[in-house]
């Protein structure tokens, strides 16, 4: 039997409501920790699961990319079936395929897409997957502000200060969409990577612009002069990790053609 470890690329769908984010923690239930526990029971202790990026507590995913490294002779389809049987119902592996030994879900990722849902009417069934905001908003102002975010900018204002001390606050934003769909306001933000709480703060600031609490000029200032924007952090339950990209052509095609639609809640 071949005893060398193999790598598999996983695509996950999950409801993050009861998880403390992606990264494994000793004192909390996380997505990575849950996957490691399930894989360990199936394959033994010599397993590794790495994701395409961290997610905040309570954030969901539609097509989250990760890789599994394990010693096994099982086919990708058998791994998918057995892991899904071992995982709780709020985590589903929707695709599994063999990857090269040098493939790394985070290090090889060139872009990531998030979407966010704001409900303008009170909802009971979707309450764990939207931010409910019934105040009137100006969509024209919000779109004007969103356009300012595209390009390479310093996003120090959109994360916490301890994060900026550890990593560069410069992030390339490829796209920042704001559209309406019935009673929903939908956001899509595509970028090279994202800082802790960055997407939620962007949404919170854009909504504040729409409600008239902030001006478009304030957003210009936030990109030039770091300020604390804690009060504008949108709640986690409306945020979805949408896609991870590993090929420039795939990313370009997504930016050019993919239509932003409401998330289907099963």
Residue identified by tokens 């709780």 is: 88
Q: What are phi and psi of 236, to 5 degrees?
A: -70, -30
pLDDT in tens, the chain (266 residues): 456 789 999 999 999 999 999 999 989 999 999 999 999 999 987 899 999 998 999 999 999 999 999 999 999 999 999 999 999 999 999 999 999 989 999 999 999 999 999 999 988 888 999 999 999 999 999 999 999 999 999 999 999 877 666 788 999 999 999 999 999 999 999 999 999 999 999 999 999 999 999 999 999 999 998 888 999 999 999 999 999 999 999 999 999 988 888 886 53
The two beta strands, 6-14 and 91-99, are antiparallel
* Helix, strand, or coil (residue 203): helix
In this structure, are residues 48 and 6 in contact, taking their beta carbons and an 8 Å threshold?
A: no
pTM of the model: 0.92
Q: Which residues contact 102 (CB under 8 A, 6 or more apart)?
A: none
DSSP, res 25: B
* Helix, strand, or coil (residue 263): coil
Token duo for residue 257:
């053609």
* CATH class of the domain comprising 111-257: alpha beta
| Alpha carbons 69 and 15: distance in angstroms, whole number | 24
pLDDT given for residue 266 in this prediction: 38
pLDDT given for residue 164 in this prediction: 61
Token duo for residue 45:
């202790």
Active-site residues, by number, are 56
In this structure, are residues 71 and 4 in contact, taking their beta carbons and an 8 Å threshold?
A: yes
- 6-99 — its CATH code? 3.30.70.580
| Alpha carbons 151 and 164: distance in angstroms, whole number | 19
| Segments making up each domain of the chain, as ranges | 6-99, 111-257
Domains 6-99 and 111-257 share a fold: yes
């Amino acid at each position: 039997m071949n005893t060398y470890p193999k790598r598999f690329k996983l695509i996950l769908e999950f409801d993050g409501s009861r998880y403390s984010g992606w990264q494994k923690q000793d004192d909390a239930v996380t997505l990575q920790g849950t996957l490691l526990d399930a894989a360990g029971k199936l394959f033994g202790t010599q397993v590794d699961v790495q994701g395409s990026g961290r997610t905040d507590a309570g954030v969901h995913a539609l097509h989250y990319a990760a890789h599994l490294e394990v010693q096994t002779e099982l086919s990708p389809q058998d791994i998918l079936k057995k892991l899904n049987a071992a995982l709780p119902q709020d985590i589903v592996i929707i695709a599994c395929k063999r990857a090269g030994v040098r493939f790394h879900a985070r290090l090889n990722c060139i872009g990531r897409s998030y979407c966010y849902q704001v409900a303008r009417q009170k909802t009971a069934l979707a309450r764990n997957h939207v931010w409910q905001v019934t105040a009137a908003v100006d969509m024209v102002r919000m779109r004007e502000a969103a356009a300012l975010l595209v390009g390479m900018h310093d996003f120090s204002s959109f994360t916490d200060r301890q994060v900026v001390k550890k990593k560069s606050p410069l992030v390339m934003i490829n796209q920042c969409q704001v559209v309406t769909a019935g009673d929903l306001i939908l956001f899509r933000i595509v970028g090279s990577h994202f800082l802790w709480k960055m997407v939620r703060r962007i949404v919170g600031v854009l909504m504040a612009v729409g409600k008239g609490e902030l001006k478009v000029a304030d957003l210009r200032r936030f990109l030039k002069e770091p300020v604390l924007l804690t009060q504008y952090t949108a709640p986690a339950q409306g945020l979805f990790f949408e896609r991870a990209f590993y090929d420039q052509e795939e990313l370009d095609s997504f930016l050019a053609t993919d239509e932003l639609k409401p998330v289907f809640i099963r």
